[in-house]
Amino acid sequence: MKRLALFALLLLLAVLALYPMRGTGYGVRFMLQLFMWIALAQSWNLISGLTGYVSFGHIAFFGMGAYTAGILIVKLGWPWLWASLAGGVGAVVLALVIGWPCLRLKGPYFAIAMLGLNEVLRVAVSYFEGLTGGGSGLSLPALYASVPIYYAMGVVALAVTGLAYVIVTSRFGLRLMTIREDEVAAEAMGIDTFRYKLYAFLLSAVGPGIVGGLAARDQSYIEPISVFPLIMTITMIVMVLFGGKGTIWGPVLGAVLLFTLQEMIWARFIYLHQLLFGAIIITVVLLMPRGILGVLQQKYHLPRTI
Amino acid sequence: MAALLEVDGVVKRFGGVTAVNGVSLALEAGHIYGLIGPNGSGKTTLFNCITGVEQIDGGQIRFKGRRIDGLKPHQVFHQGIGRTFQVIRVFPELTALENLLVVTTNDYEAARARAEELLGFVKLTGLAGEFAGNLSYGQQKLVEFVRVLMTDPELILLDETAAGVNRTLLNDLLEAVRTLRDRGKTVLLVEHDMKMVMGLCETVFVLDHGEKLAEGPPGLIQTDERVIEAYFGR
């Protein structure tokens, strides 16, 4: 069974690796965005799904990565791949600066603090016009690189999912879960909860930072409202809740299902789109708070490590 | 030689309420101590002060001669003080086995062997893979009890661990506590079950309104006028 799953996974990866040779331009761009959403949802899962510390401003790391990469490309002429990796570094530095004070806050207060962070960053970026172009945005030199960006996004999505696998199957991951389960008891059992939360938080910022940089390159134009939108944070959260928080494949499943739905159906009903989204949130929270994989886990006694 | 744990004039206030008011007690290694008192007398608060959950407002706490007040709970734990909670605090969505595994950072195989041994000791081997939250109240208490033993702490604080555990298991539990004592460990337990306290403890401390009312062997405590008054009124 395990070998079969591994074989299927490798086959899927091979198909995805070959896809740009046969796929249409639209198809490649669709997949590229799907990879981005997998990386974002999986990253949110690392901090919020495992430790229970809900980050309501996780897109701030995406925006940080986008602006770091954008500025490096425009002002210093960096190649986009290096600039995007630097975006990941920028996001981690931001996570360290923000996490140090904010992770001492308990649950709901942390969520609000993160929400505030995103709003503050958006305003700050608008303010420093000389560097960021302010409210009128930052235009990157024209470049058609959908296929290389497709691969880069795919590698990030795979790497973040691999990271989730390593964490969830380790005692490090179990300790992160003890914070979600009962932080007081975790402390009493010798777990330095602050340090563990900080590690998870830093790891959860890398992916969004890098894909933020890649998205900036892909779109060739960034502005404060396009890279710090609250709706993107909400989308990642819904993807994770829908697929199954705290699992390895739940965020992937949630991203695939919701992003596909969004592209296939909702795009034709612009106004219904948000209504449907709201309906899904309510349905998930009320009827299956553990998400699809969570329900399957309980019903069929599957291991946590799926 | 100094006592293993010295609580020296500890004060803890919550707003205008003084929950612990200048309590001093000393625990020698290798003994079982009891901590009793009416509801609200400060027993659990004192536990929280010792384990770093609450920061004290006055006095000192020393463990093996070193001050531990001001340390964080996880640091206190690594000094060699383990505790259980009055209200169950297992990790419900971790299995019974995982509840124990998270405690140590040393070699995985060794940790697993130790965890399985401890679960066997409280007869929960068959439930090792079950989510702790699905176990019965008494079973969860037992998981919490053996979880503390994972790192073999020198001082173990038990907050009403026996409550809700059935007779047969209770006897095993008492036996386990005695075995720990015989191996040189020190136990301080809060219990409401007087029979258990009297049968198990060598020294009993009585708290009332945050102050230490009496201290001595169980037989003497039972006949102490002030203790009787605190429990039953004048």
- Nearest C-alpha in B relative to A180: B91
Per CB-CB distance under 8 Å, the chain B contacts of A181 are 91-94
The per-residue pLDDT for range B89-119, each reduced to its tens digit, is: 999 989 999 999 999 877 888 999 999 999 9
CA distance B55 to B13: 10
* Contact at CB, A193 and B94, closer than 8 angstroms: no
Tokens standing for A30? Answer: 């669709």
Q: Which of B68, B74, B107, B158 to mutate to test the interface with A (most CBs of A within 10 A)?
A: B74
pLDDT band of A80, cuts 50, 70, 90: very high
Mean pLDDT of all residues in A207-225: 94
Looking at residue A179, its pLDDT comes to: 94
Q: Among A64-68, A140-144, B156-160, whose mean pLDDT is lowest? A: A140-144
Kind of pairing between the strands at B81-83 and B155-159: parallel
- The distance of B213 to chain A (nearest Cα, Å) reads 28
What are the pLDDT digits (tens) for B45-85? 999 999 999 999 999 999 999 999 999 999 999 999 999 99
On whether the CB atoms of residues B35 and B46 are closer than 8 A, the answer is yes
Neighbours of A249 (CB within 10 A): 18
A295 pLDDT more than 70: yes
Q: What are phi and psi of A13, to 5 degrees?
A: -65, -40
Reported as a pLDDT band with limits 50, 70 and 90, residue A267 is low
Count of other CB atoms within 10 angstroms of residue B138: 17
- For A238, phi then psi, to 5°, come to -65, -40
CA A80 – CA A102 distance, rounded (Å):
32
Tokens at residue B40, please? 């609200």
Please tell me the distance from the alpha carbon of residue A131 to that of residue B98, in angstroms, as a whole number: 50
**Closest residue in chain B to residue A304, using alpha carbons only:** B94
Q: How far is A4 from chain B (nearest CA, A)?
A: 25
**Residue range A157-176: average pLDDT?**
94
Specify the pLDDT at position B233.
Answer: 67
Structure tokens at A40: 């974002």
List strands edge to edge, sheet with B211-216. Answer: B81-83, B155-159, B186-190, B32-36, B203-208, B211-216
Q: What is the pLDDT of residue B132?
A: 92
Question: A186-223 burial by CB neighbour count: b if 16+ within 10 A, else e?
Answer: bbbbbbbbbebbbbbbbbbbbbbbbbbbbbbbbebebb
pLDDT for B114 equals 92
Give pLDDT, residue B1: 55
Q: Name the nearest CA neighbour of A280 among A257, A264, A297.
A: A257
pLDDT of residue A24: 86
CB contact A174 to B (< 8 Å): yes
What's the pTM? 0.91
Confidence at B234, pLDDT banded by 50, 70, 90? low
The pLDDT tens digits of the residues spanning B15-56 come to: 889 999 999 999 999 999 999 988 888 999 999 999 999 999
Q: Which CATH class is domain B5-232?
A: alpha beta
Residue of A181, A190, A191 lying closest to B94 (CB–CB): A181
Convert the pLDDT of each residue in A86-125 to its tens digit: 999 999 999 999 999 999 888 789 999 999 999 899 999 8
Model ipTM value: 0.88
> How much is the average pLDDT of A28-50?
95
Average pLDDT over residues A168-173: 92
**Max Cα distance, chain A (Å):** 57
Cβ atoms of A187 and B81 within 8 Å: the answer is no
For residue A209, what are its two tokens? Answer: 């930072």
Q: Are B82 and B153 in contact (CB under 8 A)?
A: yes
**pLDDT greater than 80 at residue A4:** yes
Q: Which two tokens stand for residue A257?
A: 């299902």
Q: Is A185 on the interface with B (CB under 8 A)?
A: yes
Q: Report the pLDDT value the prediction gives residue A195, as an integer from 0 to 100.
A: 94
Residue the block writes with tokens 């563990």: A196
Task: Determine the number of helices (DSSP H) and then strands (DSSP E) in chain B.
Answer: 9, 10
Q: Hey, what are A44's tokens?
A: 């949110």
Give the ranges where chain B is alpha helix by DSSP (H). Answer: 43-50, 73-79, 96-101, 108-121, 137-149, 167-182, 194-200, 218-222, 225-232
Q: Is A290's Cβ below 8 Å from some Cβ in B?
A: no
d(CA B228, CA B172): 30
Instruction: List residues bridging with B35 in a β-sheet.
Output: B190, B205
